[in-house]
Structure 1
Amino acid sequence: MILLGLSPGETRIYKDKVRKRGRTLMILFLASLLLFPLVYLLFGAGWVPARPRYNRDLEMPVAMVQTAGGIGTAFLYNETELLTARHVVEDMEVGEEVTLTFSNADPPITTTARIVWKDPDTSPPGDINYYLNDVARLELIQPTDLPEDFPRLYLGDSDGITARTPVVLIGYPDGNSSTTTGTISNEEAMGADIFQLDVSAYPGNSGGPLITEDTEEVIGILIAGRTEEFQGINFAIKVNNID
């Protein structure tokens, strides 16, 4: 039996082409069947780590600060010290103690810290210098309350950070752990060298770290936000401006 219209030699050539094409299609079909399990092994099983929108470990070293005056946020930036906004501990003196709760640790950890430094600027609230110097440092009283491998945040470089840079803000609005994402909306604000943010923040977020999604480093500390009709406009001091 031969294919109509072809000579015996042409028929053999045609059949060879059909067989080759069939083998190619079969190889492609088998490859497609293997593709899904290969992708699963690479990413689902952890052979190649897939990068999340943000690293959940960024939340663990962020603590709720409780004082007689209210609630704020602080974050661990070395083995024993934390940074926060000065107004979180405004009515307290250097040497006094605050309660810290690392709610995102597993299990949550409650400990205490001592105020070891407050920016000495005496500008009244509302003055731009008040916001430019709104920083305080805390030190753990019992560092052993945290596990040896407890994560910490790393201070980055706020110079060169431009508008539309994706960022993560972590804090404790109303005492509840919160992680929100957004962007830097302006590299300067209120006529000063501070970030303006398009990131949700509320009372209790003060002192929380502003982290770049790209490098996962702290580039700012939340210090203030607008209220009422301008709610949603928030501000952070740049880490390069912290003494």
Structure 2
Amino acid sequence: MRRPALYSRSPRTLPEAAEPAVDEAGAPPASSNPAPAKAPWQPGRRSFALLIVLSAALVAGAAWWPHPGAKTLTQKDIDAAVLRTLQTQTLPSPAAKAAEIVRPSVVRVVGYGPEKATPEAKVQKRGRNLAKGKPPEAPSDEAPPGQVERGVGTGVVIVDKGVILTNLHVVAGSETIKVTFSDGFEATATITGVQPENDLAVLQAQKIPDDLIPAVMRSTADLQPGDQVAAVGFPFGIGPSVSAGVVSGLKRSFRSPEGKQELGNLIQFDAAANPGNSGGPLVNMDGEVLGIVTAILNPTQQRTFIGIGFAVPIENAASAAGSPPF
């Protein structure tokens, strides 16, 4: 086998020549081998590196050298291009972008248990069935044996381990709670915490889909009336649905129609909300959760939206889960 050549890092040196012998006449003896010719110069490593540096400098200089006929963009050209794009391209609305951001974190929450006989429960059941194209009094196909669908609401994932915020009135009295994630994955959930003074409940899903994305929460300290918001949820079980509006007031109070409970420090908004939106997120145009939709003003018994909804600020809502975010 041929051995590979080995190269030494030490410089090459020639051995010192021995002094030639002279004969008695003082002339050097004749040699049959002529003296070797001087080797031609060969570039070393430093010369090769210098050559590479010079080549790179020439290439870079050619790239930056102004080319004849090239046009320099001005601010006017940039403005014209932006205007042309706005005129020819349909951009998504701010509410659409916000809903797209928060949608992976929004879940449908359904509570099952003994059937309620209250007028409110009957109205919600009729609305859900009519929305699904069913007779008003048709039973739910998804209910566990011996139970009925008592309430449909919305929740929002705040921790990627399956921690969900919703309204207490959505799941109160339920024997079984089911949540449906944005990708269609279904799981049962249990109540791990409640905050009755703010009508809030914390759920823990027993199973979660892969790559579950929690919502981003945003402080309401700088929130002002007139700020744009969107409500994402499942009104009458339909959804996820999106409605847009503005913050119409802060630090509002609301008393339930039955007069059993009064909520305070609420965000008032005019984005459409109906039964089923309860527990869903109220978000800004960056898709960040500002609050949890909890009630709508109902001067009548029709339970339809008349332009005033209320949400619990996210500071209160997150504290219900034992993790104040701010």
Contact 1:57 1:151 in 2 (8 A): no
Q: Distance in 1 between matches of 2:267 and 2:101?
A: 24
2:308 is aligned with 1:222: no
Corresponding residue for residue 113 of structure 1: 189
SS at match of 1:231: coil
Using the TM superposition, give the Cα deviation of residue 54 of structure 1 relative to its aligned residue in structure 2, in angstroms.
2.2
Residue 239 of structure 1 corresponds to 314
Q: Choose the corresponding residue for 1:98, options 177, 191, 199.
A: 177
Query: Any conservation in 2 of the 1:112–1:142 contact (CA below 8 Å)?
Result: yes
| 1:127 paired residue number | none
Pair 1:180-2:243 in alignment: yes
Counterpart code for 1:181: A
Alignment of 1:73-92 (within 5 A): 73-79=154-160, 80-92=162-174
Q: CA deviation at 1:203?
A: 0.3
Q: Which amino acid aligns with 1:100?
A: V
Q: Is the 8 A contact 2:194 2:200 kept in 1?
A: yes
Q: Does 1:202 align with 2:284?
A: no
Q: Return the match for 2:218 from 128, 148, 156.
A: 156
Q: What secondary structure sits across from 1:59 in the alignment? A: helix
Report SS of the residue matched to 1:222: strand
Identify which range, 151-160 or 62-71, moves more after superposition: 151-160
Distance (Å, rounded) in 2 between the aligned partners of 1:182 and 1:196: 11
Q: Distance in 2 between matches of 1:221 and 1:186?
A: 15
Question: 1:140 matched to which residue of 2?
Answer: 205
Deviating above 6 A after TM superposition, structure 1's stretches of 4 or more consecutive aligned residues are none
AA in 2 matched with 1:225 = I
| TM-score normalised per structure 1 | 0.67
Structure 2 length normalisation: TM-score? 0.51
Structure 2: tracts of 5 or more residues without a match: 1-68, 113-149, 255-263, 320-326
1:71 — aligned with what? 152
Question: How far 1:230 sits from its partner (Å)?
Answer: 6.9
- Quick one: structure 1 residues 230 and 88, their matched pair in 2 at CA, closer, same or farther if it must change by over 3 Å? closer
Shift of 1:180: 1.1
- CA deviation map 1:6-42 (0-9, x unaligned): xxxxxxxxxxxxxxxxxx9xx69xx97xx869x87xx
Give the whole-Å Cα distance in 2 for the aligned partners of 1:205 and 1:99: 16
Structure 1 regions of 5+ residues with no counterpart?
Answer: 1-23, 45-49, 122-131
How far is 1:188 from its partner?
2.1
Structure of higher RCO (CA pairs closer than 8 Å, 6+ residues apart)? 1
Equivalent residues of 1:159, 1:240 under 8 A apart: no
1-side partners of 2:101 and 2:189: how far apart?
Answer: 21
Q: What is the identity, as a one-letter code, of the residue corresponding to 1:74? A: G
Identity of aligned residues (%): 28
Q: Per-residue CA shift, 1:154-198, capped at 9, x if unaligned?
A: 222122211011111110001111111111100122273111111
Q: How many residues are matched?
A: 186
Could you say which residue in structure 2 is the equivalent of 1:129?
none
Q: CA deviation at 1:232?
A: 2.1
Indicate conservation of the 8 Å contact 1:97/1:115, yes or no. Answer: no
RMSD between superposed Cα atoms in Å: 3.1
Q: How far off its partner does 1:112 sit?
A: 1.8
Letter in 1 for 2:158: Y
Deviates more, 1:201-210 or 1:54-63: 54-63
Give the partner amino acid of 2:230. Answer: V
**TM superposition shift of 1:239:** 1.3
